[in-house]
Amino acid sequence: MSADQDQSQRTIRCLVAKVGLDGHDRGAHVIARAFRDAGFEVIYSGLHKSPDEIVQAAVQEDVDVLGISILSGAHNTLVPKIIEGLREYDAADDTLVILGGIIPDDDRPEIREAGVDAIFGPGASMEEAIEFVRENAPERA
Amino acid sequence: MSDLIDGILASKHRALARAITKIENRSPGYRDLVSDLHDHTGDATVVGITGSPGAGKSTLVDKLAKRYRDEGLTVGVIAIDPSSPFTGGSVLGDRIRMASTTGDMDVFFRSMSARGSLGGLSTATGDAVKALDAFGKDRIVVETVGAGQNEIDIVKTADTVAVLVPPGSGDDVQMLKAGILEIGDVFVVNKADLPGADRTVQELREMIETRNDYTADEAAHHGEEADPVIEAAGGAGATPDDADADEAEWEPRLIETVANSGEGVGELIEIFDEHARYLEESGERERRARVRYAEEVRTLLREDTNRLLEREIERRGGLDALVDRIVDRETDPYSVADDLIAPLEECVEDRERDGVRE
């Protein structure tokens, strides 16, 4: 065993992001707390962030998971912008992007197409989301 | 591996972010990475900000970053938040306060949690600072809650340490107890617009003065070595109220700020600059760097020998089995420790006897 192999300690890092003109942060708070209790490191963006700001935070914090919460209905424009931004910094491929909030069924295929890995709408359980993250968080080299 | 180094030197944000992740996770290869970084460090000025929760550290850091950016300087910030000792999870909230510079990629803000299980947080922080330094950041700010040895170790990686004290922090005994007086180069009474700020300022001033009396003996002791330094410095490092300046020692400053409105932040930066000049001119910067490197080597060696010994323990069937024998009074902790260290000891003794030179 090499000197630094047996001291490696990996923790899943998540950014919980609120984007755009959307003041509903109860869900974001609840998920942030649940992720914390699951042993993740959670960075909360705060309210009313622009896509650029979310990208900056995701890149600098090198998060494994980006959880975006949108209840304003603007997901069709905001989410692709964020993912585009991640691409610019070569961060799109190894960031798990999940989306929560009110996302109508009709919009989902297009959003998934844009690069969202999972969507957790109303009624989705915390355990489900945590399990998904645990299983799909990208391996960091 | 060298990809990351190349990326950092080419100012690629992703590479810097990934390097810090590696450092935090202590992923395989992180030691080589940090070794390679060393050659490219030494240009940044590092400021440590510490204080009790709610003292206004993050807000102040935000305003500092803004000022530095206005001066055309690039900024790196490492903000450390506690983590749950039970789940290891944490919510890192300092980033929310970075409102003034949000969207500006020349402020690299990184949240770190005090995972702490290995006590290696100060090592990880120091290594992350090196990454930011090598990346080319002009100013690096390390922010941490000031409570306990761990945090004090962290701010020691900084050239200049600012201790934030909010008004109404309790009487002077409380402050002494916290043991923060020894580490501060600057004391900042933040939220100075709140009632009680005057009293806090007054109490702090008194304590700083008594601290000076307390260290006076020591200063006299070093008097002979200190004198030429003063001449060289031309008294530039001396404080204005230090009329009988017969020592080159830095007198901790006291300043009032209102981080929310940015009041006093400019003056605080002036004090930081002044302290940086003092460090340079008195030779203190070099001395501190030497102490820091020595401490770094010691810490690494402690961790490394610990790991070697863990393997030896494993080889002998694990610590539990040894403890069983101690409980049964077959042996005792000292003998077990002697036993475990014996192979290392033998090796060192052999080398001494053979006069091995590196």
Q: Which of B93, B108, B307 sits opposite A60 (nearest CB)?
A: B108
Q: Is residue A8 part of a domain?
A: no
Structure tokens at A81: 């912008």
Residue B264 tokens read as 């006093």
Residue A2 in domain: no
| Rounded-to-integer distance, Cα B325 and Cα B38, Å | 46
Q: What is the ipTM of this complex?
A: 0.86
Structure tokens at B152: 């004090």
Report the residue of chain B nearest A11, measured CA to CA: B25
Asked if B236 and B183 touch (Cβ cutoff 8 Å), the reply is: no
Across the interface, whether the CB atoms of A45 and B96 are under 8 A apart is answered: yes
Instruction: List residues bridging with B82 in a β-sheet.
Output: B114
Of the candidate ranges B86-95, B110-119, B259-268, B281-290, the one whose mean pLDDT is the lowest: B110-119
Whether A32 is in a domain gets the answer yes
- Determine which helix (DSSP H) or strand (DSSP E) holds B140, and give its type and residue range: strand B139-145
Residue B226 — very low, low, confident or very high, per pLDDT cuts 50/70/90?
A: very low
Say yes or no for a CB contact (<8 Å) between B91 and A44. yes
Using a CB–CB cutoff of 8 Å, tell me whether A2 touches chain B.
Answer: yes
Contacts of A41 in chain B (CB under 8 A): 83, 89-90, 92, 111, 113
- d(C-alpha A44, C-alpha A31), whole Å: 10
- Given the structure tokens 């001291």, which residue do they identify? A7
> Half-sphere exposure of residue A113, counting CA atoms within 13 Å on the CB side?
6
Q: Do B95 and A61 touch (CB under 8 A)?
A: yes
Q: What are phi and psi of B14, to 5 degrees?
A: -60, -40
Split into its structural domains, chain A has a count of 1
Does residue A75 fall inside a structural domain? yes
Nearest CB to B21 within list A4, A36, A62: A62
pLDDT tens column, A63-80: 999 999 999 989 999 999
Grouping H, G, I as helix, E, B as strand and the rest as coil, residue A119 is strand
On whether residue A56 sits in a domain, the answer given is: yes
Which residues in B lie closer than 8 A to residue A44 (C-beta atoms)? 91-93, 95-96
Distance from CA of B143 to the nearest CA of A (A): 15
Q: What is the pLDDT of residues B6-53, one digit of tens each?
A: 999 999 999 999 999 999 888 888 999 999 999 999 899 999 998 877
Bridge partners for B112 per DSSP = B80
> Which tokens in the block code for residue B45?
């000025």
| Contact status of A11 with chain B (Cβ, < 8 Å) | yes
Judge whether B274 and B267 are in contact, CB under 8 Å. no
* Interval B143-181: pLDDT, tens: 987 656 666 777 778 999 998 888 876 655 565 555 667
Phi then psi dihedrals of residue A96, to 5 deg? -80, 120
| Residue A1, domain member (yes or no) | no
Burial B163-194 (b: 16+ CB within 10 A, else e): bbbbbebeebeebeebebbebbbbbbbbbbee
- Kind of pairing between the strands at B45-51 and A96-101: unpaired
Which residues of B fall within a CB distance of 8 Å from A49?
A: 102
Q: What angle do CA A84, A86, A91 make, to 5 degrees?
A: 140
**pLDDT reading at B272 higher than 70:** yes
- B304/A3 Cβ within 8 A: yes
Average pLDDT of every residue of chain B: 83
Q: Which of B24, B25, B91 lies nearest to residue A32, judging by beta carbons?
A: B91
Q: Is the pLDDT of residue B257 over 50?
A: yes
Contacts of A91 in chain B (CB under 8 A): 14
Q: What is the pLDDT of residue A1?
A: 37
pLDDT, tens digit (0-9, with 9 covering 90-100), for B76-94 = 999 988 777 777 778 888 8
CATH number of domain containing A114: 3.40.50.280
Domain extent at residue A87: 13-136
Distance of alpha carbon A121 from alpha carbon A103, whole angstroms: 7
pLDDT of residue B177: 56
Whether A7 is in a domain gets the answer no
Are B92 and A41 within 8 A, CB to CB? yes
Domains of chain B: 38-282 (3.40.50.300), 299-354 (no CATH)
Under the banding of pLDDT at 50, 70 and 90, the label for residue B309 is very high
3-state percent helix, strand, coil for chain A, nearest multiple of 5: 40, 20, 40
By the 10 Å C-beta count (0-12 exposed, 13-18 middle, 19+ buried), B346 is classed as exposed
Say which of A38, A59, A141 has its CB closest to residue B14.
Answer: A59
Number of residue pairs across A and B with CB atoms under 8 Å? 115
Q: Taking CB atoms and an 8 Å cutoff, what residues of chain A touch B105?
A: 56
The shortest C-alpha distance from A15 to chain B (Å) reads 10
Q: Distance of alpha carbon A118 from its chain centroid, rounded?
A: 10
- Report H helices in chain B: 2-9, 13-25, 30-38, 57-70, 121-135, 149-155, 172-178, 197-221, 223-233, 265-282, 284-315, 319-327, 333-354
B242 has pLDDT over 50: no
